[in-house]
Chains A and B, each alone.
Chain A
Amino acid sequence: MDFELLLVILVDGLVYSSYLFLVAVGLTVIFGVQKVLNVTHGAFYSFGAYLTAYLIGLWINDAEGGALELLAYSLAVILIGSIFLGVVLGVLIERGLLKFLYTRDEHIVVLATFAGFLVLEDVILLIWGTDPYLAFRPLELMGNSEIAGLIFDNYTFTMIGLSFLVAFVLWYGLNRTQFGKVLLAVIFDREVSMAMGINVTKIFLITFMIGTFLGALGGAYHAPIISVQPGIGVEVIVLAFAVVVIGGMGSIPGALIGAIVVGLSRAAAVHLYPELELFVIYAIMALVLIFRPEGLFAPIQARKI
């Protein structure tokens, strides 16, 4: 294998990893706190992508102005749109659905979120129709660069930066702020923290909104790269599952490592053995589950009998 190919795999893999991380991190946050494997996350991703693609298509694709100015507007659309979706969908799903299910069997909860996912996917179709949306302008404005004979969009590199930023903010928020400490207490023992006077209901709602925001952000930031069309959420959610399972459910560093492992191996498969592309991710997921069922970085759990 020559050096250039290796470089291409590395760059391609890191770009894909950052995409996976952005999608999976919200899922792992929600699982870590609420112990809910949230299938609706796939719909949050689609919502983020659709809203962004729609608004960028409306305001920015044909707008005139300086490149920097338009990029700043695009970024604002992505951020504000995701926050908006995080609040609206987060409250809707957590208060309207999950609230009633915390005492139920975990499989039922997964299935309920699956149902919520089906519903939201059709809501997206009702709002935006079946035609694909393209939000190409930010991608165009940033230009591209050539690495080892292959052309990469600069926009995709900013995704790597965003991933590290998100990872850092989450780490800081969890370990260095008061909210983070309260959250850790809730994760560790919900009942005791309730007894200590922590408003667990509020914590659940806030973390769910953060998770929803992250899912929407993943879709929103990804929107300029892809053709936003029906069915993107279905694909993303299983990928996110794989990443989260590989890293360890509920672990943020785990999601980061899981995304890098999956991203690099997929890139390697694409460039070396294209026929393996589709299942290499799930093969790794199965392997990790076989040898480390809790994932690579799962928080240690006390055994309850």
Chain B
Amino acid sequence: MTRLFDKTFWGLTIGLLALFLLNFVLEEWMRSIGLQSLSRGCVAIGLLILWRTGLVSFGHALFFGFGAYTVAMLQIIGVNDIILLLIGGSATAGLLALVLGFLLRQYRAIFFALLNMAFSMILYGVLAKVEALGSTDGIGINQVSFFGFVPSDEAYRPTLFVFAAIFAYIAAVGSHWYLKSTLGLMTMAVRENEIRVEYLGYSAEKAIHIKYVLSGVLAGMGGVIMALTVGHVDPDSMVYWTVSGDFVFITILAGTGNVGATFIGALVYELLRTYAFEFAPEIWQLILGGSLLLIIMFLPDGLWSLRSEWRNRRALAASRSGDGQAGE
């Protein structure tokens, strides 16, 4: 049995506690960035889980948007508590992933990526036409209660932040444990050689299906958090193919080494976007695209690889100084 309470677990826990403390001092715009990073981070963890098998989805906005729109639909029928909305959004997205998974688990490489995109664009086409959900204008999301508790207006956003942080924490720790389990590790073998995995007696398709459902649940959860953060859902900013592209961007930016890095990647992405938009509104896409290119060219394993790079350098320096001492 592998250790459950390892470095990553404690790192995430410290991160959560740090967020609780930061919540007291953060200004509202920073909190918004934080909330959006938590939301996109959840989706990116889902993509990381798929990436470990060598699968990339160019259509995870499907589940993200599905989760977000589930919030809108649940509010229409009168459900307004965060936990119900979260469970509802994640579960419907997961259910959709379960159904589509029967099909998608047979696909690999670019076909997997594109079939996902096709499905997300179908949802986009549907949502853009459904009048009851505001078609292309989208629909507003009301303030919610937290386990029955309704905070005052000033306390609403900080409360939302605390809950979003807890949900993201649970998602991250759960995903980390999953990736460390036999089932999670096996899918890395699928990436290397699927046929051999089958010969060892495991079903590669089943393993991929489980991953797909998990990533759907995580993306749905990200969608719920985003819907509550923005207070509005619409097809163009939730389901369009460029949204899926941004998620893949975050995954590459963070690297696939560690679930915790995903949130850092999401935060960097969010800051990049916000500042680029703030200071250079004409060229914010250029800045975003340029940074992505730089990462792909010079940091192929993402920000997380900076850490091992730094470690290597330190080890090298240590061994050098060790040599020096031996010589004295």
**Chain A: residues with CB nearer than 8 A to chain B?**
37, 97, 100-101, 104, 106-108, 110-112, 114-119, 121-123, 125-126, 234, 238, 241-242, 245, 249, 275-283, 285-286, 289-290, 293-294, 305
9 cross-chain pairs, A with B, having the tightest CB-CB distances, nearest first: A279-B125, A118-B289, A278-B125, A122-B286, A115-B292, A119-B289, A282-B121, A107-B56, A115-B289
With A122-B286, A238-B241, A290-B103 known as contacts, the answer to whether A97 contacts B293 (CB < 8 A) is: yes
| Contact (A283, B103) CB under 8 Å given A110-B58, A117-B289, A289-B111 | no
B118 interfacial by beta-carbon distance below 8 Å? yes
Stretch in B31-39, B78-86, B244-252, B319-327 with 4+ CB within 8 Å of A = B244-252
Q: Mark B280-311, 1 if CB is under 8 A from A, else 0.
A: 00111110111011001100100000000000
Q: Could you jot down 7 A-B contacts, CB within 8 Å?
A: A107-B56, A115-B290, A119-B285, A119-B289, A126-B282, A245-B118, A279-B122
Give the chain B neighbours of A293 by CB distance below 8 A: 106-107, 111
Cα-based distance from A22 to B285 in the complex (angstroms): 27
Q: A278–B124 contact, CB under 8 A? A: yes
Contacts of A238 in B (CB 8 A): 117, 121, 241
Provide the bound-state CA to CA distance between A183 and B107, in Å: 29
- Shortest CB–CB separation between residue B200 and chain A, in angstroms? 16
> A110–B249 contact, CB under 8 A?
no
Question: Which chain A residue lies CB-closest to B290?
Answer: A119
Query: How distant is the Cα of A249 from the Cα of B115 in the complex, in angstroms?
Result: 13
Q: If A106-B110, A108-B252 touch, does A289 touch B122 (CB 8 Å cutoff)?
A: no
Name the interface size band of chain B.
Answer: 35 or more
B286 touches A37 (CB 8 A): no
Given the interface contacts A119-B285, A122-B282, A278-B129, does A286 sit within 8 Å of B122 by beta carbon?
yes
Chain B 94-115 near chain A by CB (<8 Å), digits 1 or 0: 0000000001001101110111
Are B118 and A285 touching (Cβ within 8 A)?
Answer: yes
Assess whether B283 is in contact with A104, with CB atoms less than 8 Å apart: no
Q: A234-B242, A242-B118 are in contact. List 18 more A-B contacts (CB 8 A).
A: A104-B296, A110-B113, A114-B292, A115-B293, A116-B293, A119-B286, A121-B285, A277-B129, A278-B124, A278-B129, A279-B121, A279-B122, A280-B125, A281-B121, A289-B115, A290-B115, A293-B106, A305-B195
Closest to B284 in A: A122
Give the interface centre of B107, B109, B195, B245 by most chain A CB atoms within 10 Å: B245
Give A234 to B107 CA distance when docked, in angstroms: 26
B288, A283: Cβ atoms under 8 Å? no
User: Of all chain B residues, which has the CB nearest A35?
Assistant: B110
Which one of B56, B118, B300 contacts A282 once the chains associate, using CB atoms below 8 Å?
Answer: B118
Given A107-B56, A119-B285, check contact A112 B122 (CB 8 Å).
Answer: no
Residues A111 and B121 in contact, CB atoms below 8 Å apart: no
| A residues near B22, Cβ cutoff 8 Å | none
Q: Which residues of B contact A249 (CB under 8 A)?
A: 110
User: Which residue of A111, A234, A275, A279 contacts B249 across the interface (Cβ within 8 Å)?
Assistant: A111
Which of A111, A121, A276, A305 counts the most B-chain CB atoms under 10 A from its CB? Answer: A111
B110's partner among A37, A104, A277, A283 (CB-CB below 8 A) is A37
User: A290–B122 Cα gap in the complex (Å)?
Assistant: 14
Taking CB atoms and an 8 Å cut-off, the chain B residues in 210-233 that contact chain A are none
Chain A: CB-nearest residue to B106:
A293
B119 at interface (Cβ–Cβ under 8 A)?
Answer: yes
Interface 1/0 per residue, B253-294 and A, CB below 8 Å: 000000000000000000000000000001111101110110
Which of these, B109, B111, B126, B293, contacts A119 with CB under 8 Å?
B293
**B87 part of interface (Cβ distance < 8 Å):** no
Residues in A neighbouring B19, C-beta threshold 8 A? none
Q: Which of B122, B249, B300 has the most CB of A within 10 A?
A: B122
> A117: which B residues are within 8 A, CB to CB?
289
User: Pick the contact of B114 from A108, A280, A289, A290 — CB < 8 Å?
Assistant: A289
In the complex, A163 Cα to B243 Cα: how many Å? 32
In the complex, which residues of chain B have a beta carbon less than 8 angstroms from the beta carbon of A282? 118-119, 121-122, 125
Interface centre among A122, A123, A285 (most CB of B within 10 A): A122
A232 shortest CB reach to chain B, Å: 14
Partner of A118 from B107, B252, B288 at Cβ < 8 Å? B288
CB distance from A114 to the nearest CB of B (A): 5
Q: Say yes or no: is B128 at the interface (Cβ < 8 Å to chain A).
A: yes
CB <8 Å contact, B290 and A106? no
Residues A283 and B286 in contact, CB atoms below 8 Å apart: no
Residues of A within 8 A of B284 (CB): 122
Contacts of B129 in A (CB 8 A): 275, 277-279
Chain B contacts for A283, CB-based, 8 A:
122, 125
Residues on A with beta carbons closer than 8 Å to the beta carbon of B125: 276-280, 282-283
Q: Closest residue of chain A to B111, judged by CB?
A: A293
B125 CB to nearest A CB, Å: 3
Residues of B within 8 A of A289 (CB): 107, 111, 114-115, 118
Minimum C-beta distance from B56 to chain A (A): 4
Q: A122 and B285 in contact (CB under 8 A), knowing A37-B110, A107-B56?
A: yes
Q: How far is the CA of A33 from the CA of B301 in the complex (A)?
A: 27
Nearest CB in chain A: distance from B71 CB, A:
22
Interface string of B188-201 (1 = CB under 8 A from A): 00000001000000
Residues on B with C-beta less than 8 A from A279 are 121-122, 124-126, 129
Partner of B115, one of A100, A286, A305: A286
